[in-house]
Amino acid sequence: MLTVITGGTRGIGAATAHRLARDGHDLVLGYATDDATAEATAVSLRAHGGAVDLVRADVTTDEGVDQLFRRASGLGTVTGLVNNAGATLHIGPLAETMPDVVRRTIDLNLTSAVLCARAAVRLMSRSRGGRGGVVVNVSSGAATLGAPHEYVQYAAAKAGIDALTTGLAIEVAGEGIRVVGVAPGIVRTTIHVDAGEPGRIDRVGPLVPLGRVGEPAEVADAIGWLMSDQASYVTGTTLRVAGGR
Ligand code: NAP
């Protein structure tokens, strides 16, 4: 099994990399800029015994997507994609959000993910010489809640991800490819600090029905199951991992 994880070097992506490495996947991890964190993640993953390759490539560019999947296909037969790179970028009402932030948010969280899914199904489709496989799209609970006053543009992009999961799953079912999603609620990563609200985890955690934020490993375990043969009859659906919200 050779699996590409976009944004695989930190947060939910890195936790997923650990889960999949334990499950026997060889990994290609994409990331944007943070070389030091990527190297440290790769070192700890290699302790599981599998191959781990790093590709620094911005998936908001066509060249970045090409570079990531070209490298992966040069390493073996790609059988998995965790379409995970994403960010909220900004917290505030839409009327106070600059147009370029709206565009960058939709570009990263939706357009890039659609293009990565496209690249993956071209490699995995049996009619194109692939072996089939699994695509997991990382959505968000925001896709159905809408994230009012916080980031409706991000929620709109993630709702697009859910439609991608529904439609692409049907389109490639005959190619031996399952397409599934996970929709995390609030999870303990630096995404919240990076968007400008360092205290978000403490503020929102108690409002979650289970009374706390989620941990990256809890999302990673859902992704690991969805990628496994135990989920062989699961496609075209998104699993909410959001503590009851
Ligand atoms: P994170 O900790 O901020 O990690 C983001 C990862 O994506 C990093 O590896 C980063 O690379 C990479 N990345 C960002 N922009 C990129 C680009 N343009 N090209 C390539 N790679 C890029 O994020 P996270 O919190 O784990 O979130 C992972 C996914 O879960 C996202 O899709 C997010 O929307 C979703 N999600 C998160 C939460 C949450 O509460 N954390 C909740 C719901 C959904 P660098 O390290 O180089 O920057």
Residue 96 belongs to a domain with what CATH number? 3.40.50.720
- Is the pLDDT reported for residue 192 higher than 90? no
pLDDT in tens, 82-138: 999 999 999 999 999 999 999 999 999 999 999 999 999 999 999 999 999 999 999
Q: Which domain holds residue 197?
A: 2-241
CA of 127 to the centre of ligand 1 (A): 32
Integer Cα distance of 240 and 231 in angstroms: 15
- What is the best residue among 111, 114, 187 to mutate for testing ligand 1's pocket, by most ligand atoms within 8 Å of CB? 187
For residues 82 and 6, the answer to whether their CB atoms sit within 8 Å is: yes
**130 in ligand 1 pocket by Cβ < 6 Å?**
no
| DSSP-assigned letters across all residues of 176-223 | TEEEEEEEE-SBSSTHHHHTT-TTHHHHHGGGSTTSSPBPHHHHHHHH
**30 in ligand 1 pocket by Cβ < 6 Å?**
yes
How many structural domains is the chain composed of? 1
Residues 6+ apart with CB under 8 A from 117: 81, 83, 135, 137, 164, 168, 179
pLDDT at 218: 98
Q: Which atom of ligand 1 is nearest to the CA of 59?
A: 19
Average of per-residue pLDDT across 16-35: 98
pLDDT at 44: 97
pLDDT at 123: 98
**215 in ligand 1 pocket by Cβ < 6 Å?**
no
For residues 140 and 188, the answer to whether their CB atoms sit within 8 Å is: no
DSSP 76: S
The residue assigned the tokens 């978000």 is: 200
The verdict on whether 31 is a catalytic residue reads no
State the CB neighbour count (10 A cutoff) for residue 89: 19
The residue assigned the tokens 């929709």 is: 183
pTM of the model: 0.98
pLDDT in tens, 131-166: 999 999 999 999 999 999 999 999 999 999 999 999
**33 in ligand 1 pocket by Cβ < 6 Å?**
yes
> What is the residue with the minimal CA distance to atom 8 of ligand 1?
7
Q: Which atom of ligand 1 is nearest to the CA of 142?
A: 43
Torsion-angle region of 56 (φ positive above 0: left; ψ -120 to 50: alpha; else: beta):
beta
